[in-house]
Amino acid sequence: MNKNIKLAVAGAIFAAASAAQAGIIIPAGDWTLDISGNVNSYYTQTRATGDAVTGGLAGASATGTRSTANISTGLLPNFLSVAGSTRQNDLDVTFLISINPGASQLNAGSGGSGTEHRQAFLTFGDKSWGSIKLGKDLGIFASDAILNDMTLLGVGSASGSPTTTTLGRIGSGFMYADWKSQIAYTTPNMNGFQATVGLTQAWNALSSDSNGATAGGNVSATTTARGGASTAYEGKASYSIAANDVTGKIWVGGFAQKVDGMVFHADRDTIAYAGEVGANVNAAGFGLTGYYYGGKGVGTTLMLKDGYSLTGQQRDSDGGYVQATYVLPTKTKAGISWGISNLDKTSAESASTLVKENEMWTVGLCHPLTKHLNIVAEYNNVESKAQTNVEAKTRNVSLGAILFF
């Protein structure tokens, strides 16, 4: 399976004790098929306290203290992926299609769980000039932030009623890269330097209030009411190093999209934009990651969520996270991380219950029982603060397992 195809799953395995492995390889005429994926499930006990924060990630509500227990998928969805690769007419051609069944029971007595289809794309190219991707895959902006997040193998922020997956550190350190329809070009690897630029499906602006900030209301690119007069523009560039026992990566990225169709200003067009910078280094069992992002109109947690006031004005937002891990002699990987996402109100807005910041501390352990099976334990402390400075807190402890094949 080539590098593009393995992006999501291989990125997740960075925290596991074993390296990424190919799946089930099947020669099929001109093609080589690769069946791979993962299965994970966690028991999570959550306790929420405090006041309600509109758009906050902490699970408190107006009713005060609340305790829940759930058995569900973690941040990384279950994957069953079928990929294919071939070399024809001096082109490397690949495809990947995946299904992502959840491990959460959504409705009592139904026996059902959420199922998504996050990937369906093709690529073609050559190592001399790069590759082109068309279809649905992980977004470009903020993708390295989530792929380096230690909660990718665990739970992270967990709501009281998880659906297909939990949130991990999404919204408390970085924006959600999401799974987007896209057309993207990736350069060849030039002595460690590589860049990707692309057009991705546009979003409608989201609002945590009952009134949407655009004519489409509370919708995003994941719904049928996809917004925007033009596509979004995303890009990133990275430089990877590997010297003796030291490996690492530095990256920068950007996002921009025209936003139109405002409810209160239908004739007003604005540009929502954001930038990011991050770095990861690993040596002698230690791993360090640092990340920062900032933007206007992009909001918090989900792209364009709460990025605009109900009168169509852009809000500033920023955030980031730091993370440290260490592999013990038992091959257990221990990690600790802290992150925060901030959202500013506009100069024309008064203080409200709208979220001001989401902050999370995480402590975790990941132990390999076998080359493919890992036991994961986590503790997460999430705090949400409103523009009025009222607070909500959620603490959760989780224990479960994740299997890669």
Q: d(Cα 19, Cα 21) in Å, to the nearest integer? A: 6
pLDDT > 90: percent of the chain: 65
Q: Give pLDDT tens digits for 331-353.
A: 999 999 999 999 999 998 888 89
Looking at per-residue pLDDT, the higher value among 113 and 394 belongs to 394
Q: Is the pLDDT of residue 106 over 70?
A: no
In this prediction, residue 227 carries a pLDDT of 57
Q: Give the residue with greater pLDDT, 41 vs 12.
A: 41
Per-residue pLDDT at 30 exceeds 90: yes
The CATH number of domain 43-77+126-404, selected from 2.40.160, 1.10.3470, 2.40.50, 1.25.40: 2.40.160
Section 27-31 average pLDDT:
92
Burial degree of 102 (CB within 10 A; 0-12, 13-18, 19+) = buried
**Cβ-based neighbours of 59, under 8 Å, separated by 6 or more:** 46, 48, 66, 68, 158, 159, 160, 382, 392, 394
| Number of neighbouring beta carbons within 10 Å of residue 113 | 17
- Among residues 234, 229, 54, 74, the alpha carbon closest in space to that of 149 is found at 74
Burial class (CB in 10 A: 0-12, 13-18, 19+), 21: middle
Answer yes or no: is pLDDT of 104 > 90: no
How far is 63 from 23, CA to CA, in rounded Å?
48
Q: What is the mean pLDDT of residues 266-288?
A: 90
In this predicted model, what pLDDT tens digit does every residue of 50-81 receive, in sequence order?
Answer: 888 988 999 755 455 688 888 889 999 899 99
The per-residue pLDDT for range 202-251, each reduced to its tens digit, is 888 888 865 555 544 443 333 444 555 679 999 999 999 998 889 999 99
Phi, psi of 9 (to 5 degrees): -70, -45
Q: Which one, of 281, 265, 290, 40, lies nearest residue 164 by Cα?
A: 40
What pLDDT is attached to residue 265? Answer: 62
Asked whether the beta carbons of 46 and 381 are under 8 A apart, the reply is no
| Mean pLDDT score of the chain | 85
- What percent of the chain clears pLDDT 70, i.e. is strictly above it? 81
Position 114 scores a pLDDT of 63
Decide: helix, strand or coil at residue 148: coil
Q: How confident is the model over 294-318, as pLDDT tens digits? A: 999 999 999 999 998 877 889 999 9
Q: What pLDDT was estimated at residue 252?
A: 98
Q: Which two tokens stand for residue 71?
A: 């058995």
Q: What is the dihedral of CA 151, 13, 305, 205, to 10 degrees?
A: -170
Give yes or no for residue 391 having a pLDDT over 80.
yes
Task: Give Cα separations from 45 to 10, 48, 261, 313 (angstroms).
Answer: 28, 10, 42, 39
Render pLDDT for 141-179 as a digit per residue (tens, 0 to 9). Answer: 999 999 999 999 999 998 644 567 899 999 999 999 999
Q: What confidence tier does 289 reach under pLDDT thresholds 50, 70, 90?
A: very high
Q: How far is CA 215 from CA 262, 348, 354, in A?
A: 6, 21, 21
Under a CB-based contact definition with an 8 Å cutoff, are residues 249 and 280 in contact?
yes
> CA 53 to CA 75: how far, in whole Å?
22
Gap between the Cα atoms of 84 and 30, Å rounded = 10
pLDDT at 284 over 90: yes
* CB neighbourhood size of 34 (10 A): 21
User: Above 70 in pLDDT, residue 183?
Assistant: yes
Q: 361 to each of 32, 66, 103, 366, how far by Cα in Å?
A: 43, 20, 25, 17
| Integer Cα distance of 72 and 277 in angstroms | 32
So what's the pLDDT on residue 312? Answer: 80
